Structure 1
């Protein structure tokens, strides 16, 4: 009988822990500055496993759905980003305090070169450069390929992708299916989308996809996006572009 009771409690404990890991719960936390110990408002918290996010209030408080061992990515302009794991203690206590350290930012010299305008529209319109980038529309594909003055070889790349499906897209996407399936989930969460729309550093995109951010320009180039787009797009545009490229890859693969 004694062994049965021990076995029963062992099974009950195991099922309880399993339920915690599988079933999302609402956890909360307070984010403060490591240097000032003051609340950090507007910090972005993303659950990388569930691909949902939230922001801290003016008091540094947040709530988020998470399961045991989920990974949370915390970021805010001017602070070093932080990755934390949801632990048993956190779930048990329902809340925790997280400290962010401020970045030491060195401002670089900015050189402003004015356009020498004449005041005549016909002349000035030719002096100001215009990014004539667009995307070719291809029958059977949801999106086309970008072209224009910054991507003069795009048309040849398009034909290469159509007539030779085993192109450079396979080199990346063929090994990243699991990570890239997160893209649809990322687009559904407004907090994640708003965060990405306000960022240009590629850090959050890289964390969400599980890649190095230095790989992103290479991926975009293989998808025939121009250097101008890669350099100026925000993180949400980059994410959408990678998503479109992945969908094209799946169609070409078929």
Structure 2
């Protein structure tokens, strides 16, 4: 009997841990209010993203929001002019409905901007010729239904695309094969209108980094090796970058099946 007691205690302990883990995965509606840390005033139109569930929402005029979440999910809050905030959801936050999340204002220092004159003459036909032209090219391969954007300083773009198809150990597999979990989030991100609206207004890649759990350098490497031009990578908004990564990933899945 004495020998059985430690086993029984261990069994109940394991069951208790398993039950706690199961409870922590229960998804329910989480409510909170977002306020300005300096003034305590509510903030309207703050973007809130559940990084685990890949769902988004925004705060109303009273700074309140509701989003589906489970215990230990991470919420990512962004608002123009304020420092982004990551919040881990706890049991207590579900128990008490007066949860407040504070965002801190950022102080922006405007840097000197040099405007280079284009020596405009006032004659449209002449001025159009003086404006800079984006000379990026689009390459496509029959049957894949995909296109690739390459800069004017990338003469090997076609070779890279063909090499990716003919080489079984291509770079796309090396890029995406090591990050299957992050890449599975792409479809969820594209299906959520709130997340898409947020990404359409972003150009800093910070939200994408949090959602995909990739470094900014990883994102640039993916797009570079999918033959997107430097000008596109630098100027596209985060939604365009998301769609570009998604297209590249869909191509990877086709190649991987082959």
Same fold (TM over 0.5): yes
1:115 is the counterpart of 2:118? yes
Instruction: Give the structure 1 partner of residue 35 of structure 2.
Output: 32
1:205 paired residue among 201, 204, 208: 208
- Contact 1:43–1:74 at 8 Å: present in 2 too? yes
SS state at 2:146 partner: coil
1:59 is aligned to 2:62: yes
Secondary structure at the residue paired with 1:181? helix
Match of 2:239 in 1: 236
Matched with 2:255 is: 252
2:53 maps to which of 50, 55, 60: 50
Give CA-to-partner distance per residue, 1:216-252, whole Å, 9 cap, x none: 2222111111000001100000011011111111112
C-alpha RMSD over aligned residues? 2.5
Does the 8 Å CA contact 1:47/1:73 hold for their aligned counterparts?
yes
1:144 match: secondary structure? strand
Q: CA deviation at 1:79?
A: 1.1
| Alpha-carbon distance in 2 for matches of 1:95, 1:52 | 22
1:88-107 mapped onto 2 (5 Å cutoff): 88-107=91-110
Aligned-pair CA distance for 1:86:
1.1
Q: 1:227 aligns with which of 227, 230, 246?
A: 230
TM-score, normalising length: structure 1: 0.88
Deviations 1:178-230 (A, max 9, x none): 11010000011100000000000100001100112233222211111100000
Mapped to 2, the partners of 1:217 and 1:13 lie a distance apart of 45
Q: Which runs of 5+ in 1 are unaligned?
A: 1-8
* 1:154 aligned onto 2:157: yes
In the TM superposition, residue 55 of structure 1 has moved relative to its aligned partner by: 0.7
1:195 aligns to 2:183 (yes or no): no
Partner Cα distance (2:218, 2:235) in 1: 16
Query: Deviations 1:11-57 (Å, cap 9, x if unpaired)?
Result: 99878755643332111101111112111221110001111111111
Alignment equivalent of 2:90, drawn from 87, 90, 107:
87
C-alpha separation in 2, matches of 1:61 and 1:23: 22
**Contact 1:151–1:225 (CA<8 Å) still a contact in 2?**
no
**d(CA) in 2 for partners of 1:34 and 1:142?**
50
Separation in structure 2 between the aligned mates of residue 33 and residue 183 of structure 1, nearest angstrom:
32
Q: 1:216 to 1:12 in 2, by over 3 A?
A: closer
Q: Distance in 1 between matches of 2:135 and 2:166?
A: 26
Partners of 2:15 and 2:163 lie apart in 1 by 59
On the 8 A contact 1:73/1:83 being kept in 2, the answer is yes
The 5 A counterparts of 1:119-138 are 119-138=122-141
Q: CA deviation at 1:172?
A: 1.6
Between the aligned partners of 2:145 and 2:206, the Cα distance in structure 1 is 27
Unpaired segments ≥5 residues, structure 2: 1-11
Helix, strand or coil for the counterpart of 2:109?
A: coil
Change (3 A) 1:88 1:210: same
